[in-house]
Amino acid sequence: MNNYRFVTTLFGEKHLGMLLVNLYSIYKNAPHAKVSVFWQEISEEKKDSFKKTFPNVDFQETNFDLSSSKIKRISSKTILWNHAAQVLPAENICFFDADMLVLKDIGSFFDKDFDILFTDKKEEIFPLNTGVILTKGDAKKTFMKEWLNKTLEIINDEFLLKQAVSTDYPFGGADQMSFHQMVGYQREKEFFNVDINGEKLKFVSVPCAVLNETRSIDINNDMRIIHYKGGWQMIMLEGKGFTKSRSKKSSWSMYMLYLKIYKDAINYMNKKSGSSYDASSLGIKIPFYLNKETLKEDKFLYGIFSTIKTAESIFDSVVYKIGLKK
């Protein structure tokens, strides 16, 4: 079994519930892995609860001045990832976002020949997703430092930032634009030899479907990590309804899995830390059409929920269009 470390980051408490699911899923499904969390802007009470619940996790406080802009803030994870890369020892590391759920041990991926491993979806508009990146040895230091510098160049250039998030370009974010350009990414390739400031690094891609599943689909045996990104967070954190891209039918098995693990994780945290959190305490919303204890769906209540959310969506759309016309 390969030794490796998971590294994730968090700035602010909005995604604390997702961090809890992340750590609990590692505890249950990859218990031999080391874990480091680099976080900031978390209350002392919440930090204490997490540390008591996961005593083997290395929690490290950071204090970076991160942008308040949502678009810029998402890409600012490269600041924390670079910091982690510089202070952690030369070892196998899986850098990944906090909104992940680990289904299986991923140690076998480190048997592959690479310095940096990333995930892609070759058939989609934005083929890269930098939510999961594996590194070996000290390659992370050179790579992360350069990736951060290139990302900050884009974030601080209004023209480049617009390109980064535009559907006219294959990026989907400043950090993915900088990664795309650094690697010289091409959809038809899996291996990329990249020279970064005189250091030659081998980059390898694997399908998101295996190591970073971003779609709403039925759970299958190939999945190691599910990424609850984008529209998932509208559902989980804001209590929104399902959408065309995250339909109830395609999302249901992943949704139920996440809520079940979240409930189990809350109970585990209360037992280990002596806290008395409920499902709402860490920001994950369980809708009123689900029984709070069993998560069983009441189809009549779901009909009411769906009607309310459809009306809210129409209202939001009208307000948005009016705003554009002003």
Do 197 and 318 lie in a common domain?
no
- Domain presence at residue 254: no
Q: State residue 319's pLDDT score.
A: 75
Yes or no: say if 20 and 98 are a contact pair by the CB < 8 Å rule.
no
Do 187 and 300 lie in a common domain?
no
Q: How many domains would you assign to the chain?
A: 2
Q: Tell me the β-bridge partners of 195.
A: 200
Yes or no: say if 240 and 287 are a contact pair by the CB < 8 Å rule.
no
Do 74 and 153 lie in a common domain?
yes
Note the pLDDT tens digit of each residue in 45-95.
999 999 999 999 999 999 988 766 655 566 678 999 999 999 999 999 999
Do 295 and 197 lie in a common domain?
no
Burial class (CB in 10 A: 0-12, 13-18, 19+), 125: exposed
Q: State residue 72's pLDDT score.
A: 59
Q: In what order do the strands lie in the sheet with 116-120?
A: 58-61, 34-40, 5-11, 93-96, 128-135, 116-120, 199-207, 191-196
- Domain presence at residue 233: no
Q: State residue 258's pLDDT score.
A: 98
Q: State residue 314's pLDDT score.
A: 85
CA 169, 172, 177, 181 torsion-angle sign? negative
Yes or no: say if 119 and 14 are a contact pair by the CB < 8 Å rule.
no
- Domain presence at residue 209: yes
The percent helix, strand, coil of the chain (3-state, each to 5) is 45, 20, 35
- Domain presence at residue 235: no
Do 220 and 298 lie in a common domain?
no
Q: State residue 74's pLDDT score.
A: 65
Question: Of 184, 208, 227, at which residue does a domain stop?
Answer: 227
- CA angle in degrees (0–180, nearest 5) for 283-286-15: 20
- Domain presence at residue 122: yes
Point out the residues of the chain with pLDDT beneath 70: 1, 67-75, 320-321, 323-326
Distance CA(187)–CA(124), nearest Å, equals 10
B/e letters for 309-326, b = 16+ CB within 10 Å, e = fewer, are: beeeeeeeeeeeeeeeee
Do 221 and 322 lie in a common domain?
no
Q: State residue 84's pLDDT score.
A: 96
Yes or no: say if 176 and 130 are a contact pair by the CB < 8 Å rule.
yes
Question: Of 208, 227, 246, at which residue does a domain stop?
Answer: 227
Q: State residue 312's pLDDT score.
A: 87
- How many helices and strands in the chain, by DSSP H and E? 11, 10
- Domain presence at residue 273: no
Q: State residue 54's pLDDT score.
A: 98
- Domain presence at residue 248: no
Q: State residue 318's pLDDT score.
A: 78
Distance CA(34)–CA(256), nearest Å, equals 27
Do 171 and 70 lie in a common domain?
yes
Q: Could you give the count of Cα atoms lying within 13 Å of 130 in the half-sphere of its Cβ?
A: 24
Question: Of 227, 250, 266, at which residue does a domain stop?
Answer: 227
Do 174 and 312 lie in a common domain?
no
Q: State residue 265's pLDDT score.
A: 98
Do 302 and 204 lie in a common domain?
no
Do 165 and 302 lie in a common domain?
no
- Going by the DSSP 8-state scheme, the letter that residue 88 receives in this structure is S
CATH code, domain carrying 71: 3.90.550.10
Q: State residue 326's pLDDT score.
A: 42
Alpha helices, DSSP H only, in the chain?
16-29, 44-53, 70-75, 77-87, 139-155, 158-165, 174-183, 208-211, 231-238, 248-273, 299-325
pTM of the model: 0.93
- Domain presence at residue 245: no
Tokens of 113: 């020949």
Do 219 and 310 lie in a common domain?
no
Do 197 and 111 lie in a common domain?
yes
Range of the domain at 56: 5-227
